[in-house]
Structure 1
Amino acid sequence: MKVRSTVLRITATAVAAGALAWAAIAGGVPGGSSHDPLATKAVAEEGPGYAVEDFAYPNADKILAEQKIKLKRGDGHIVLAPCTGAPELMEVFSHKSEKVCFKVTGDKGYLSLEIPSVFGVKGNNYAAEVEMTTGAEQKTFPVDKNAWTAVGETADDQGRDFMLLEIRTSK
């Protein structure tokens, strides 16, 4: 009998310890307070925040102030570049600003922007199209590879003023 009572005592202790461990892991001791050392708390309350990419164009405010070009957002594959005349650059011509150039990388690119009074685009070795607006009307113009393309007022039979809103490229 003595062996049997010892086995029962050991088993009961093990079961109690297991139940306590399970309670602590699964959600704390029932009725435990925030001062209870066995109480648990959510890790998310203490962890660092998440970085969320909003695809906003870096330094857009500074570029707007200095160059009067409103760069909104994109995928990072079409970026503002100095106009050096290099053949890999896409060039945008506007009556309101000097020539604006963009470097294109990757297989596809997207950039949302605002450049008023755009009348021409010189393409590079990417297939490209530009989305433009005049008043309430939006138009998409395909851009010729490595050549000058008339867009906006120069491609409009009424000669209306167009604003460039988007550039999309692909290989």
Structure 2
Amino acid sequence: MNRTTHTIAVIVNDQPGVLQRVSGLFGRRGFNIESITVGASEEEGLSRMVIVTTGDDHMLEQIEKQLYKIIDVIKVINLSSQAMVDRELALIKVKAEPKERPEVLGVVETFRASIVDIGPATLVVQVVGDSKKIEAMVELLKPYGIREISRTGVTAMIRGSITDSK
């Protein structure tokens, strides 16, 4: 079985309970959600969910069919079948005594990340990029002592002038 990562966008009515129904569908079917982000779309009254899941093409087809059975689902788009832009944001609180800070700042600069908070013995680093960039940054900061990590999950859209909402 060829298991690959799929990124799908789901355009839904902005109604209470829609997120629960969508995520419940995945759970009932035994499909794993690796990442989910939800926010307002370009059209008032509609929200965009970006879901990252892993499975074969048959599983993806089943997910799409099941999603369309949810009354508030307007459209399902397989973003990973097209050229797409995907990004994630992470905040990483790392132990950094003043003497270690120049080394940590070197890592931050290399990844084009930024320091968004400085404490007496910690720094909070903000990094934006694809999941591999986030994971690489985490690995390089581990030796300093990561205190906390908060990640947004992936958000994505089709590249170029093609839009998925029309």
- TM-score, normalised to structure 2's length? 0.31
Of structures 1 and 2, the one with the larger relative CO (CA 8 A, separation 6+) is: 2
For the pair shown, the structure with the greater C-alpha radius of gyration is 1
- TM-score, normalised to structure 1's length? 0.30
Larger strand fraction of residues: 2
